[in-house]
Amino acid sequence: MKLEDILQKYYGYETFREGQKELIEHVMNNQSALGILPTGGGKSICYQVPGIARGGLTLVISPLISLMKDQVDTLSAAGIPAAYLNSQQKAAEVRAVESDLKKGAYQFLYVAPERFEQNNFRYLLTQLDIRLIAFDEAHCISKWGHDFRPSYRQVVSRVMTIGAPCIAVTATATVDVRKDIQELLYISDDCVVETSIKRDNLDFKIDPTFQKDKMVRRYVKEHMKDSGIIYATTRKQVEALSEQFTDQNISHTIYHAGLSSEVREQNQTAFVNDNSPVMIATNAFGMGIDKSNVRYVIHYNLPQDLESYYQEAGRAGRDGLQSECILLYSEQDIRLQQFFIGNTPDEVIQERKKEKLEKMVQYTKTTQCLQGTLINYFNPEEHLEPCGRCTNCLMEAKYDMSVEAKKLMSCLIRIKTPVSRGILTKVIRGEQVSQEMSQLSTFGLMKDYETKDIHGFIDTLLFNGYLDEIDGKLHVHPSAKDVLMSDVKIMTHYHPVSYNERVTIHTLVNVDEDLFEHLKKVRKELSVEMNVPPFTIFSDRTLTLFAQKQPTTKQEMFHIEGVGSYKLKHYCPRFIEAIKSYQSTV
């Protein structure tokens, strides 16, 4: 089967993303390869598609037990037989998997590095038809990685004798790590594929609010239907936020190192399965969580460095839909981080950490594009255009409102008596207020503007002191004559166009929200029946497309991104039924 056909059949995607095809072709040519792709960039497909194409068994070495289960669920949901072996399984389960393996029942086997220390497992491997070896989270092999696992490094010499090509994937891209992996796995320079770590669907925001609690509660309430993570630095802060949420009846769950492992596991599952869409956690949470529909990540405190920030914030929007990463911070946060650094015994490391914290603080102060600042930190050579969506870009999108200012102020002068902003807005938009006002030459002068745009301009004029608002009535200040008589420019942060963009951030055009919610319920039912997480059935993106296009035949459904032939057969009938019955009720 052609690579594209596999992608279409099992995943329902039409084209490969940047880097995927190139990487896959290397291993199809029996060359070992390394892929450095951003989080959410689609690393799994890079080893799964060639794994299917090469036939036999693909051995996937993964240091994250939580990730294994998700991956196996996702593969099984797409009709690809897969299994995992790790230390948390019961002996009987392990024996069953091993005996199925010998029968050639699986196409993918996920294993933890420690497993290779067992003689009988190594013996088992010699009996299997392994045709590809994949190293997931490959930076853990490297001594220079931020998450080095010695047992992972030892696996390398043990699997090299198998005689299948290796594919290593990671999102961490420092030069040292990359060289180290290449040497260990004999990967030549031209078999390294690296794409930008830029994530276009993430909107970075900074909010230096003093009322963090209020902001967080309000945000979560306004996004009740969305899944999100709130990171706080200490367990105590997590508990405190949780208490507030409970008081306000906001459903949520928590995660930090002070909870027992059963409770942690339970809470994590509740979050991943969408039973509890909001997670409040310390940075102990998130490694290996493969939940694709996280719509926002809020940092309640300043993290210790930009590596941590980008990794944690990057857990938003893995399905490619627009998502927000919001950083709240205070001076106190900086002092807390400095305190932690002060406790580091090694002086060299202490210095390094201080420098990194300094960069983190600079991020909160920059007036440059936030996305650009982040990418630049990791890869100073990458040239970027301003993203146009982060808080700084929106602020920068200054709008010259001199003409509108003149129109508004002359209208107010012609009305002669002070009026409320509501009246001024009506007159200038050409809405009937009184006979007299309709006769004014400024009546309807700004009929093409929306009410909220005009309010935005009035706010700026008030802020600049050209207007005064006394007892709810607008007065023209004497300084306004500078604007009316000369060429004084009035700029505003308020930008009608970007304002509109901000409001529509979460909504695709023509998506029927009720239908979307309904389809989510259907997905949830299926997920309970099949005992797999909801997102392995269809991503939020695919459901959104269903709600937008409302396909009612298999033919129509097949053309939607995320629908492969397996899912078409096994899941789509339920969704078609749901869409049809929804249409008949509206």
Spatial strand order of the sheet with 323-328 comes to: 202-207, 323-328, 294-299, 227-231, 278-281, 253-255
DSSP 227-295: EEEEE-SSHHHHHHHHHHHHHTT---EEE-TTS-HHHHHHHHHHHHTTSS-EEEE-TTS-TT---TTEE
Give the binding range for ligand ADP (CB under 6 A) out of 8-16, 190-198, 358-366, 470-478.
8-16
Q: How far is the CB of 384 from Zn ion (least distance, A)?
A: 9
Q: How far is the CB of 41 from ligand ADP (least distance, A)?
A: 4
**Does the protein bind ligand ADP through residue 421 (CB under 6 A)?**
no
Q: Distance of CA 560 to CAs 8, 84, 121, 543, Å?
A: 11, 31, 42, 10
Q: How far is the CB of 115 from ligand ADP (least distance, A)?
A: 21
Structure tokens at 113: 């590095």
Helix (H) or strand (E) holding 429: helix 421-429
| Residue number with CB closer to ligand ADP (71 or 304) | 71
Site residue total, ligand ADP (CB under 6 A)? 18
Q: How far is the CB of 45 from ligand ADP (least distance, A)?
A: 4
**Under 8 Å between Cβ of 113 and 155:** yes
Beta carbons within 8 Å of 406's beta carbon, 6+ residues apart: 483, 484
Q: How far is the CB of 46 from ligand ADP (least distance, A)?
A: 8
**Under 8 Å between Cβ of 121 and 83:** no
Q: Could you list the beta-strand ranges (E) of 408-549.
A: 467-470, 473-476, 491-492
Q: How far is the CB of 106 from ligand ADP (least distance, A)?
A: 19
| Residue number with CB closer to ligand ADP (41 or 228) | 41
Please state, in angstroms and rounded to a whole number, the distance separating the CA atoms of residues 560 and 543: 10
292 contacts which partner out of ligand ADP, Zn ion, none, CB within 5 to 8 A by kind? ligand ADP
Please state, in angstroms and rounded to a whole number, the distance separating the CA atoms of residues 245 and 218: 11
Among 6, 8, 16, 301, binds ligand ADP (CB under 6 A): 16
Give the binding range for Zn ion (CB under 5 A) out of 156-164, 227-235, 300-308, 363-371.
363-371
Beta carbons within 8 Å of 162's beta carbon, 6+ residues apart: 59, 125, 130, 133
393 contacts which partner out of ligand ADP, Zn ion, none, CB within 5 to 8 A by kind? Zn ion
Scanning residues 375 to 404, which ones bind Zn ion (CB under 5 A)?
386-387, 390, 393
**Does the protein bind ligand ADP through residue 170 (CB under 6 A)?**
no
**Does the protein bind ligand ADP through residue 17 (CB under 6 A)?**
yes
**Under 8 Å between Cβ of 253 and 265:** no
| Residue number with CB closer to ligand ADP (19 or 228) | 19
Among 233, 304, 536, 539, binds ligand ADP (CB under 6 A): 539
Closest by Cα among 240, 379, 226, 202 to 293: 226
**Does the protein bind ligand ADP through residue 41 (CB under 6 A)?**
yes
Give the binding range for ligand ADP (CB under 6 A) out of 34-42, 90-98, 213-221, 471-479.
34-42
| Residue number with CB closer to ligand ADP (43 or 389) | 43
13 contacts which partner out of Zn ion, ligand ADP, none, CB within 5 to 8 A by kind? ligand ADP
Neighbours of 93 (CB within 10 A): 13
Residue 521 Cα to chain centre, angstroms: 22
567 contacts which partner out of ligand ADP, Zn ion, none, CB within 5 to 8 A by kind? none
Q: Which residue number has the CB closest to ligand ADP?
A: 42
Q: Distance of CA 245 to CAs 101, 219, 545, Å?
A: 47, 12, 32
241 contacts which partner out of ligand ADP, Zn ion, none, CB within 5 to 8 A by kind? none
Please state, in angstroms and rounded to a whole number, the distance separating the CA atoms of residues 423 and 431: 9
**Under 8 Å between Cβ of 179 and 172:** no
**Does the protein bind ligand ADP through residue 455 (CB under 6 A)?**
no
| Residue number with CB closer to Zn ion (304 or 371) | 371
43 contacts which partner out of ligand ADP, Zn ion, none, CB within 5 to 8 A by kind? ligand ADP
Give the binding range for ligand ADP (CB under 6 A) out of 41-49, 92-100, 334-342, 411-419.
41-49
Position 356, amino acid: K
**Does the protein bind ligand ADP through residue 168 (CB under 6 A)?**
no
**Does the protein bind ligand ADP through residue 373 (CB under 6 A)?**
no
Spatial strand order of the sheet with 108-111 comes to: 82-85, 108-111, 57-61, 130-135, 166-170, 33-36, 192-194
Scanning residues 315 to 354, which ones bind ligand ADP (CB under 6 A)?
318-319
Give the binding range for ligand ADP (CB under 6 A) out of 43-51, 181-189, 268-276, 449-457.
43-51
| Residue number with CB closer to ligand ADP (4 or 396) | 4
Please state, in angstroms and rounded to a whole number, the distance separating the CA atoms of residues 579 and 318: 26
Scanning residues 281 to 300, which ones bind ligand ADP (CB under 6 A)?
290, 292
369 contacts which partner out of ligand ADP, Zn ion, none, CB within 5 to 8 A by kind? Zn ion
Scanning residues 469 to 508, which ones bind Zn ion (CB under 5 A)?
none
Q: How far is the CB of 37 from ligand ADP (least distance, A)?
A: 5
Helix (H) or strand (E) holding 383: none
**Does the protein bind Zn ion through residue 369 (CB under 5 A)?**
yes
**Does the protein bind ligand ADP through residue 32 (CB under 6 A)?**
no
483 contacts which partner out of Zn ion, ligand ADP, none, CB within 5 to 8 A by kind? none
Structure tokens at 278: 């909001």
**Does the protein bind ligand ADP through residue 39 (CB under 6 A)?**
yes
Please state, in angstroms and rounded to a whole number, the distance separating the CA atoms of residues 577 and 586: 15
**Does the protein bind ligand ADP through residue 45 (CB under 6 A)?**
yes
**Does the protein bind Zn ion through residue 327 (CB under 5 A)?**
no
Q: Distance of CA 239 to CAs 224, 231, 252, 340, 467, Å?
A: 20, 12, 12, 20, 46
Three-state DSSP class for residue 135: strand
Please state, in angstroms and rounded to a whole number, the distance separating the CA atoms of residues 388 and 369: 8
Site residue total, Zn ion (CB under 5 A)? 6
Structure tokens at 397: 């999108």
Contacts to Zn ion by CB under 5 A: 369, 371, 386-387, 390, 393
Contacts to ligand ADP by CB under 6 A: 11, 13, 16-17, 20, 37, 39-45, 290, 292, 318-319, 539
